Amino acid sequence: MARSQQPSAIGSGLSIRVRLTLWYGMALALVLVTFAGVLYSVMARELREQVDQSLATAAETAIRSIEQTRATPSSQFEDLAAQFPELAVMDKFFQIFSPTGGVTIQSPHLKPHNELLSRAALDAALAGQTIYQSVRFSDESPMRLFAVPVFDEAEHLVHIVQVGTTLQPVETMLQRLLLLLLILLPVALVVSLAAGWFLAGWALAPVGGITQAARRIAEGDLGQRLAVPPVRDELGTLAATFNEMIARLDASFQEIRRFSADASHELRTPLTVMKGETELALRRARPAEDYKLVLESNLEEIDRLTRIVDELLFLSRADLGEVKMATLPVRFDDLVRDVQQQAAVLGQERGIQIVLGWLMPVTILGDELRLRELLLNLVDNAVKYSKPGGRVDVGLVTDGSQVRLTVSDQGIGIEPDALPHLFDRFYRSAGARTHAKQGTGLGLAICKWIVESHKGRIDVQSRPGEGAQVTVTLPLAIEN
């Protein structure tokens, strides 16, 4: 049976501050131990290399003394020291061996067991090689030995010079270094952990403010904002991003409230009309013609309700990505011309002319049905809010790799404070409600979705009493 994975013990139930301090401590301990090991190794190697270099120098002095005094097996250390005083004052000892390994000359303070020339040193000398050795005798400190062969002019081995010194000072220095490291490492680790604990607490202090603000926001206070520090570090960026998210949520909730209120108003109005007319018709017996008028009025309101519901359903499906858009070449100028001919019928009742301005031949990629719906909505709005006897101008021009459609009217215009909300669902300005009572406030929202689905942009420019101009910019499919 498979086991469920459990969180690690070091991470469960521990605060971020504790975990950061622990991870920091472990990383620092690893660094300190590595540093101490490297330092000890480098120091030991450097000290031993210095000892080896001093042995090589001492061996050169001993060889020079042998060559100049022409030492023989009967020579004494005192004879060599008389001509080369540096041999007597050196902190080292030396021995001279014959090619067979027998002692010829040696320092006077050597013990009997120190006279032995190791087999490895003798073989190296016979092969013409120098050799370094580290040896330790019982109850004595370790020693470092250096053996050098000496040849005559005929390349015959005549002497083997061995120089040595004690490693006790090196061992003592390394032991002191090790003791110092063992004392300083824990102290440095404790001090660093304390500093890490303090710094982690200082760095995470803004998180407490974020947590408290999040709790207040969860209780419904969407006006709450976090204090953003002047330095934009990671937490400052987090606070700014959090504020932006809350601002968007607040705007979304405000839009939902406004949408709910507007939708309730738009749906309640036809229902109220239908209910009032029906109740009035049922109060007493009436001629059949009166009932017919009531039913016709109710049918108009039902059509309005149906249109609102259909448009709401379309926008909901569009928000969910369920509305499929075709991507085919569309002759946009031909489509504008067809819509102008259809809209001309709408303007006849109010004496409004639909005039085609500059119409350049252009092709775009898109859904012809949705583009036709876009054009009909824009022209219908222009006709609806125009003054009787006015005109609506429609133009189509290219601008580089884009096509720009303009629909202008000479109607009532739009208040400046209403312009930012024109594309909100169910939004209708006070002037629009007074001038045309049959609107739903969803047409421009649908237009915006169609334009953005075609990777375009829609803008409105207007002044009260001076009409409005809607500009739609779409990318061209083919250069014309």
pLDDT digits (tens, 9 = 90+) for 423-464: 777 766 666 665 555 656 677 888 898 898 889 999 999 888
Q: Is residue 10 over pLDDT 50?
A: no
H helices, E strands: number in the chain:
12, 12
The answer on pLDDT for 79 being more than 70 is no
Residue 149 has pLDDT above 80, yes or no: yes
Model confidence pLDDT, tens digit, residues 33-74: 899 899 999 999 999 999 889 888 888 877 777 766 655 544
Q: What is the pLDDT of residue 41?
A: 92
CA–CA separation, 406 and 174 (whole Å): 89
Pairwise CA distance, residues 302 & 271, whole Å: 8
Token pair in block for residue 203? 């760095």
**For residues 456 and 371, what is the distance between their CA atoms, to the nearest angstrom?**
12
Q: What pLDDT score was predicted for residue 39?
A: 92
3-class secondary structure per residue, 5-58: CCCCCCCCCCCHHHHHHHHHHHHHHHHHHHHHHHHHHHHHHHHHHHHHHHHHHH
Output the pLDDT for position 169.
Answer: 87
pLDDT at 259 over 80: no
Report residue 357 as tokens.
């301005």
**Long-range contacts of 262-271, Cβ-Cβ distance < 8 Å, separation of 24 or more:** 262/425, 262/426, 262/427, 262/441, 263/312, 263/425, 263/426, 265/426, 266/308, 266/426, 266/440, 266/441, 267/305, 267/308, 270/301, 270/302, 270/304, 270/305, 271/301, 271/305
- Across the chain, mean pLDDT equals 78
Contact between 93 and 194 (Cβ < 8 Å): no
The predicted model gives 101-106 an average pLDDT of 73
Our CA dihedral for 36, 39, 43, 44, rounded to 10 degrees, sits at 50
Query: How much is the pLDDT for 46?
Result: 92
Of 256, 50, 310, give the one whose Cα is nearest residue 169. 50
Contact 50, 226 (CB under 8 A): no
On the question of pLDDT at 91 being above 50, the answer is yes
- The 10s digit of each residue's pLDDT in 361-393 is 889 998 888 898 889 888 888 888 888 888 889
SS3 79: helix
Which pLDDT does position 73 carry in this prediction?
A: 47
Give the model's pLDDT for residue 54. 86
Domains present along the chain, CATH in parentheses: 17-172 (3.30.450.20), 234-319 (1.10.287.130), 328-475 (3.30.565.10)
Percent of the chain with pLDDT over 90: 7
Contact 131, 124 (CB under 8 A): yes
368-384 helix and 332-348 helix, angle to the nearest 10 degrees: 30
- Cα distance between residue 354 and residue 468, in whole Å: 15
Task: Report yes or no: 125 and 149 within 8 Å, Cβ to Cβ.
Answer: yes
pTM above 0.85, yes or no: no
Residue-level pLDDT at 474: 92
Beta carbons of 419 and 398 less than 8 angstroms apart: no
- Give the relative orientation of helices 168-203 and 16-69 as an angle to the nearest 10 degrees: 160
Higher pLDDT residue, 81 or 55? 55
Q: How confident is the model at residue 359 (pLDDT cuts 50, 70, 90)?
A: confident
Higher per-residue confidence, 431 vs 273 = 273
